Amino acid sequence: MRRLWLAALVLALAGCGPGASPPPERRHPPEPVSTGAEADPLSDIAGRPPTPREQEAIATLLRVAERTRNLTFDRPVPFRIQDRDVITQFVRDQIDAEELERARVFYVAIGLLDPALDIHDLLIRVLGEQIVGYYDPERSLMVIREDVAEQLRPGQGSRQLGEAEMVIVHELVHALQDQRLGLGARYEEERTIDGENAFASIVEGDATLAMIGHMASRMGQPLSALTRNAAMLRMLIRQNPDAIQGQEIEQAPPIVRLPLMSRYLDGMILCATLHGQQGWRGVDGLHARPPVTTEQVLHPERYLARELPDEVTLPALDDLAAAGLTPHEEDSLGELETSIYLGQGLADAERDESAAEGWGGDRIRVYRREDGSTAVVWWTTWDDEGEAREAELAARRVADASPADR
């Protein structure tokens, strides 16, 4: 359970600094919540507006999100209550079939996906399993699953917030990011694979840190008592990695599961590092100047040093064109996904973090013939010759462990 994982983490860190008595729980009248009940401007969206009882419970969660994240909403947040089937359909609608097929061919070609895997079905199952509620930045809309909304209790103090409520607070932090930190404006920007993983790490890491901060305050610990020792925080997370649980996500291949988990865990560590130095103002700064690579996320000191990736440009390679191979997709994997690729050569880990740590930049291009066969050209740069040799040895281990026909 996510809430138990957070609680265990906060308890483990309870000795990091002096405790503080939690502030007394104040009772406030319900705040206005944009539900659409009057004229229902959201009538074109499936589902229903919250009931009066649900509105009152939501108002409490809005206050928790504001207090925890040290930001305030500048306009009402529209809410919609939807059943699981409608949410699953939303997930389906968000998947661009053509784009997904290009990604599938790309990852199959480099050996990170089984060609027999139905990736479309997997993503629907993985994402559908995780969703209790979500914030849609395209419509500035907050959705709560109906069975969860029906369990919300009016007047419930934040001391008694359950797991589902904590997830809703997490999503409300995304609404705050949209209103106050420009999330919506950046949401549709074009990024590389590496850049997208890095950007998502700030979005999810920020909201995860806010959840930890709320639980810490309920246990009498200021968030700063945890974030001023980000190295210990990282160590404890490595010992308790199951922040995202579920049968489907646990069975997903590493290239699906690990980047998703990294967004929450490694992203939270980067946010915690900045919080430990500057408080929430430091985390706000991450949104203003987000990391551009997963290297900067995995190594916060490199973000602080503004270490940028090497620019790698692939040549045209006319010989491949003459052999009937045409470019299918070109991108940059970055340190995170490079470590997952190199991890295929290890028997006891899914990422080869040591071999990928010296990553300096990369560009990878997948070619495809009309018969569906593929070829891959991948150029990488490394911090020094020693790092390059370590990566080469790791890549050879992957090749030795791969099927002969790959």
Q: How confident is the model at residue 16 (pLDDT cuts 50, 70, 90)?
A: very low
Residue 183's pLDDT is 93
Contact 157, 25 (CB under 8 A): yes
pLDDT at 163: 74
Q: What confidence score (pLDDT) does residue 14 get?
A: 42
* Range of lowest pLDDT (178-192, 220-234, 258-272): 220-234
Report the percent of the chain where pLDDT is more than 70: 84
Side by side, the strands of the sheet bearing 359-368 are 326-331, 359-368, 374-382
What pLDDT shows up at residue 156? 54
Chain-wide mean pLDDT for the chain? 86
pLDDT over threshold 70, residue 23: no
Structure token pair of residue 377: 């050209």
Beta-bridge mates of residue 375: 367
What pLDDT was estimated at residue 143?
95
Instruction: Assess whether pLDDT exceeds 80 at residue 249.
Output: yes
The angle subtended at Cα 307 by Cα 390 and Cα 179, nearest 5°, is 125
Q: Which of 55, 277, 227 is nearest to 153 (CA)?
A: 55
Pairing mode, strands 359-368 and 326-331: antiparallel
Angular region, 402: left φ>0, alpha ψ -120 to 50, beta rest: beta
Confidence of residue 21 (pLDDT cuts 50, 70, 90): very low
CA distance 364 to 110: 9
Mean pLDDT of 191-211: 97
Over residues 341-369, the mean pLDDT reads 97
103-162 residue pLDDT tens: 999 999 999 999 999 999 998 888 877 788 899 988 899 999 998 898 887 655 444 457
- What is residue 6's predicted lDDT score, i.e. its pLDDT? 44
So where are the chain's domains? Answer: 52-305, 318-400
pTM of the model: 0.88
The label of the residue with tokens 């810490």 reads 216
For CA atoms 55, 213, 166, 125, give the dihedral sign: positive
**Confidence bin at 379 (pLDDT 50/70/90):** very high
pLDDT at 33 over 60: no
Which tops the pLDDT comparison, 117 or 22? 117
pLDDT at 239 over 70: no
5 confidence band (pLDDT: 50, 70, 90): very low
Judge whether residue 365 has pLDDT over 80. yes
